Amino acid sequence: MAHLSLKSSILVDLPPCTLVFFPSNSRFLIVGTYQLEKETGLRRGSLDVFDTVDGNLRLVNSITSASSSILDVKISPHDSTLLITAHSTGNICMWRIIDEGVSLSLQLLADQTVADDTNILVLSLSFSPTSKEEISVTLTSGEWRTISLDHSSSYKATQSISEQPHTLEAWTSAFNNAGAVLYTGGDDCLFQAYDLRMGCQVWQDRRSHSAGVTSILSDSLDDTRLWTGSYDDTMRVWDLRGPRGKVVGETNLGGGVWRLIPRPASTNNEIFTCCMYNGAYVVTPSGAYGESVDVLGTIKEGHESMVYGADWTTDGSVVASCSFYDKKLNLWKYP
């Protein structure tokens, strides 16, 4: 178990909380930021583009907002030029990514309200792996919603399903590999599975997590297994082969497991885990059913605050991570 090698580090203007590499050209990194102004209660943020050529971080484009923060950024697995951002004002924005060689420009395609109130934050979004039209969003109201995207020039977003199983913030959601089941997790410790074809919840679990469920990752190699992360510092392995999911393994990582990011094209399911105040780890499943995890790499230095966001380059040789209060953005070599 070795500490990852730091390639580059930079301080950004506003606290970064989410990021994604542009998969068609991994030299470019897109970062979303979030800042709450305590005096006014207003949130502001930015969408920043960094060039990582030669292993260095250089800001090449920035779109700022004085009235809205960004809590999640995702690029469509069906169209690498389509970026969607989740905002603190109850809306999502669709962007066209334009690769200009030495920079990226972002063209706003549509700005769509997906919550019932502008005071409701859109906490996360997820693309269906099988349908380019379908995404899910989770809200501070405890709701999750599936949204249908019109891929015509308007990019109009239409609500398909809306449910409120959570009594507190719905932190995260994830589709299964077939795009037929949506898993959601909330601050109320509830983890649930919803069958999108049948239009009903198929099972729920309130006992396995002792704090909020913050991250969910379906195993791309085995649809009968997934992982969850929680504020209780634990990464859990779930067996989905029965009528309801059950926990078959737990690993305490020493910090809230905020994000689980799979390494692209990995044959042994390497996962980068953002562990908030305890840095980050690269782990891989072990055991007959992957019921435990082996730690392959760590990040214990380089961040002095909560590690919230991370992503891999397309070839999996570099990972970027960001930490919140110290406003730090880092690039790491792997392995």
Q: Which pLDDT value is given to residue 155? A: 82
Q: Which pLDDT value is given to residue 119? A: 96
Q: Which pLDDT value is given to residue 18? A: 98
CATH of domain 2-333: 2.130.10.10
How sure is the predictor about 289, in pLDDT bands with cuts at 50, 70 and 90?
confident
Of 157, 148, 45, 64, the residue nearest 109 (C-alpha) = 157
How far apart CA 311 and CA 321 sit, in angstroms, is 7
Q: Which pLDDT value is given to residue 156? A: 81
Dmax (CA) of the chain? 54
**Residue type, position 149, single letter:** L
pLDDT beyond 80 at 216: yes
pLDDT beyond 80 at 153: no
pLDDT beyond 90 at 290: no
How far apart CA 44 and CA 88 sit, in angstroms, is 9
Mean pLDDT, the chain, integer = 96
User: What is the DSSP track for 103-155?
Assistant: -EEEEEEEEEE-SSSTTS-EEEEEE-SS-TTEEEEEETTS-EEEEEE--STT-
Tell me the average pLDDT across 80-95: 98
pLDDT beyond 80 at 161: yes
pLDDT beyond 90 at 264: yes
Of 224, 196, 214, 175, the residue nearest 307 (C-alpha) = 214
Q: Which pLDDT value is given to residue 118? A: 96
pLDDT beyond 80 at 246: yes
How far apart CA 22 and CA 330 sit, in angstroms, is 16
pLDDT beyond 90 at 147: yes
- Of 63-77, 147-161, 222-236, 297-311, the least confident: 147-161
How sure is the predictor about 149, in pLDDT bands with cuts at 50, 70 and 90?
very high
* Phi (first) and psi of residue 216, to 5 degrees: -140, 135
Q: pLDDT tens-digit profile of 298-333?
A: 999 999 999 999 999 999 999 999 999 999 999 999
How far apart CA 218 and CA 175 sit, in angstroms, is 7
pLDDT beyond 90 at 58: yes
Q: Which pLDDT value is given to residue 267? A: 84
Tell me the average pLDDT across 260-279: 95
pLDDT beyond 90 at 236: yes
How far apart CA 178 and CA 134 sit, in angstroms, is 13
How sure is the predictor about 20, in pLDDT bands with cuts at 50, 70 and 90?
very high
How sure is the predictor about 154, in pLDDT bands with cuts at 50, 70 and 90?
confident
Tell me the average pLDDT across 205-232: 96
Q: pLDDT tens-digit profile of 124-138?
A: 999 999 999 999 999
